[in-house]
Chain A
Amino acid sequence: MRISLTRSATLMMFLVLIWGGLPAYGQVARLQLNNLEKLSKKAAEVVDVTLDGPMLKLASKFLNEDEDSEAAEVKELVKGLKGIYVKSFEFDKEGEYSEEDVEAIRAQLKGPGWTRIVGFTSKREHENTEVYMMVPGSGESIEGMAIIDAEPKELTVVNIIGPIDLDKLSALEGHMGVPKLDLEKGKAGQKPASGKPPAKEQE
């Protein structure tokens, strides 16, 4: 009888651990951006987008009504995504956010699964751009991505949960009624940054 009770208790603990661990596994690519909320008061312009599963589905549903090719591209891109979170702050003057604000985000990206694929730091221009990918153990699929772009008067953090095609995401710029910025495309023979290039850093 005692053995049976012990087994039951062990089984229950095992199930509780699994049950408790499942949501944590699913949310592992989600960054906590709450520490940036305080910057809203200081910023001249704020973009705060929080689109979780149901809202993404709703947005996709309404994309169906747009019959242009861009809508189809966006719909294809967001298929399978679980969440898109963007916080972007533009300030009138420099020094409105601290390095600690950025470090709090960066610290989360040091966790298991995250890999930095691009790291650009310019001390001259006080700019820092980092792109991270969440690639779990198997390395076959991308579970999420994060971009941190810190400039003297601007701070942007992007967090996308789910499988994302970087080539398609990159190609979106210039669509959706927004003019394409003057960005150079890859030279012939150069591999685009959609794969997994080594992190580059300029000090």
Chain B
Amino acid sequence: MRPLDEELRSALRRQEPPAGFVERVMARLAAQAAPRAGWAQVARAFLGWPRLRWAAVGAVACLVMAIGVVQYQRGQRAQGEMAKAQLKQALHIASSKLNQARKRVQEIDRRSPQS
């Protein structure tokens, strides 16, 4: 046989893989094939933890309450400003009519011969 043939046979001779080789390859394949988790999955996984779930519920409740308080305060302010304007208008009319009555009484007093 020629030396080249001998070299090839030596290089290509059957060899057994080292121990655990198959498992390592399979594990690496599995890791590469796994799809990337979406935000929904991340959130689901996050909320899967009971304490965090309750914390999220509490935060949402606080937000809703805060919005409610702000809306209530806005309503109260609008109502208060309207009441204030009405009060001023009512007092202005009352004051004006009272002064009108006063003026008329004074006119009568002036015209009256006794005064």
The residues of A with any CB-CB pair to B shorter than 8 Å are: 47, 49, 51, 55-56, 58-63, 74, 77-78, 84-86, 88, 118, 120, 129-131, 147, 149, 156, 158, 160, 166, 169-173, 176, 178, 181, 183-184, 186-187, 190, 192-193, 197, 200, 202
Contact = CB atoms under 8 A, between A and B. Distances in A.
A62 B91 contact: no
A158 B93 contact: yes
Contacts of A130: 101
Given A55-B83, A58-B83, A158 B99 contact: no
B100 interface: yes
Interface of B: 76-77, 79-81, 83-84, 86-106, 108-110
Q: Which 6 A-B pairs have the closest CB atoms?
A: A59-B83, A62-B80, A173-B95, A49-B90, A172-B95, A59-B87
Tell me whether chain B's interface is mostly helix, strand or loop, or mixed.
helix
Given A51-B90, A120-B104, 15 more contacts: A47-B89, A51-B87, A61-B80, A62-B80, A63-B87, A74-B91, A78-B87, A78-B91, A130-B101, A158-B90, A172-B95, A173-B96, A181-B100, A183-B100, A186-B102
Given A77-B91, A190-B109, A170 B98 contact: yes
A176 B92 contact: yes
Given A59-B86, A62-B81, A84 B101 contact: no
A80 to B, nearest CB: 14
B98 A62 contact: no
A171 B94 CA distance: 11
Nearest to B80: A62
A129 B91 contact: no
